[in-house]
Amino acid sequence: MNILGKSLIMLKKYPLCNHCLGRQFALLGYGMENYERGRMIKTILTMEAHMLALSKNKKGIRNLKILATNGFFETAKEILHRMKKRIPSHAPKTCFLCEDRFKIVDELVKRALYELKDYEYTNFLVGIQLPVLVEEREDEFKAEFEVCHGEDIRNEFGRIIGKRIAEHHGKSVEYKRPEVVLLINPVTEEVKLQVNPLYVAGRYRKMVRGIPQSKWLCSHCRGKGCKNCSWTGKMYSESVEEIIEKPFLDFTNGVKASFHASGREDIDARMLGNGRPFVIEIKKSMKRFLDLEKLEKAVNAYAEGKVEVSNLRFASKDVVRKVKKAESAQKEYRVIIEFETKVTAKNLHLIEEKLTKVLIKQRTPMRVLHRRADLTREKYIYEVKIKKLSPKKAEMKIRCEGGLYVKELVNGDEGRTKPSVSEILKGKVAPIELDVLNVIMKD
Ligand SMILES: [Zn+2]
Ligand SMILES: [Zn+2]
């Protein structure tokens, strides 16, 4: 059956607005919207009916009445009026498929723009939510009339609202990774804004000892605040994470930040060299057009003497996964070790030899057993270099696979780490100072 014949049968049975009639033929023709299709179909049907009416064919008036009532078509009403024919008084008021929801698109767009007004963004996506009933009704309608070139109502709402928002602010629609998502329900008229996180990657250095990488909750009160933690809820008053987050939140007006890094150093170890890769995730960031150089300066001024960030750049969610995976990236450490008795050059040489290009078997250190599973890990050491500092002290530099517990490599952890400096020298050896010199990884 042709388009006009099919349309007339649809209109005979159901009241349909221009959008909803045109949508049944959405895949036919390009560069026009469904309401234009619907309007054109109704125009031709009206003209044909007018022609029939003028030649006294009863079908003419009958069809004009259908178009004036179920078609809500003004021209048909006008013709009937001029021909002095009555328009049925029981005429339907709303479209069977959309319940006239396309009429409130302007209002929905206005509300969406209002929700967006405080946020910086370059792209967005519109998600349409509809009651199941509305979608099922259209599915049944399509089945009843064997519609095969139509699109669904959700698509049309999404496209026309998206177009309007894009035109208004010169933004673009992004399907894969939108910065903001508008969830719009044309039936309940709900408009919700979902702001996707902003990610910034960089590297941090920690120049002092005694600061943990992440916020550490008080073990007595679990963060509520008690006598033991002077009502701060924390074991340590500050952390690398908190120091970096503060200026970030100030700059972005974000609600919350999450800090992701490639592994972590001990509280008493410094993180030197090029620093450790991290990604900071800002939730509900109002600002996205950031001057990262300025932000870097602000973080470094705020964290002065303690922490330093560098190489800040915009990132995506995938970078978080990459950074976390890189926990096992090669690392370089520097540790000052102390021997019980005077150490000889021969002994130092022996340590270098026995710990270079060797696989270390390491059971979870006793000091972290309370929070980590008791496992045996194997970590490779590429190179160890030792320099004597005093009769009982030496500086040891280690380049190894990430995740090696360096303190235990020195003291042997009562035989849980093998081989170890302590084991090689058959005596007590203690790690005094530890620094991470480098995290070897491409940014
Ligand atoms: Zn409609
Ligand atoms: Zn506490």
pLDDT at 286 over 90: yes
Q: Do domains 101-195 and 198-326 have the same CATH topology?
A: no
User: What ligand is nearest to the CA atom of residue 221?
Assistant: 2
User: What ligand is nearest to the CA atom of residue 15?
Assistant: 1
Give pLDDT, residue 148. 93
Among 238, 437, 438, 201, residue whose Cα is nearest residue 324: 201
* Residue 51 burial (10 A CB sphere; 0-12, 13-18, 19+): exposed
Give pLDDT, residue 324. 86
What's the gap in Å between 110 CA and the centre of ligand 1?
A: 20
What are the boundaries of each domain within the chain? 3-82, 101-195, 198-326, 329-439
pLDDT at 423 over 80: yes
What's the gap in Å between 88 CA and the centre of ligand 1?
A: 21
pTM, full prediction: 0.84
User: What ligand is nearest to the CA atom of residue 99?
Assistant: 1
What's the gap in Å between 238 CA and the centre of ligand 2?
A: 14
CA–CA distance, 323 with 223 (Å, rounded to integer): 28
pLDDT category of residue 134 using cuts at 50, 70 and 90: very high
Q: List the CATH code of the domain at 101-195.
A: 3.30.2130.30
Give pLDDT, residue 327. 79
User: What ligand is nearest to the CA atom of residue 17?
Assistant: 1
What's the gap in Å between 20 CA and the centre of ligand 1?
A: 4
Specify the CATH architecture of the domain 198-326.
Answer: 2-Layer Sandwich (3.30)
pLDDT at 1 over 80: no
Q: List the CATH code of the domain at 329-439.
A: 3.30.70.3190
What's the gap in Å between 217 CA and the centre of ligand 2?
A: 8
CB 210 within 8 A of CB 308: no
Strands 172-173 and 123-128: parallel
Active-site option among 100, 266, 318, 443: 266
What's the gap in Å between 185 CA and the centre of ligand 1?
A: 15
Section 301-321 average pLDDT: 94
Q: Which residues surround ligand 1, an ion (CB under 5 A)?
A: 17, 19-20, 95, 97-98
pLDDT at 216 over 90: no
Catalytic status, residue 139 = no
CB 361 within 8 A of CB 376: yes
Give pLDDT, residue 308. 97
pLDDT of 40-58, one tens digit each?
999 999 999 999 999 999 9
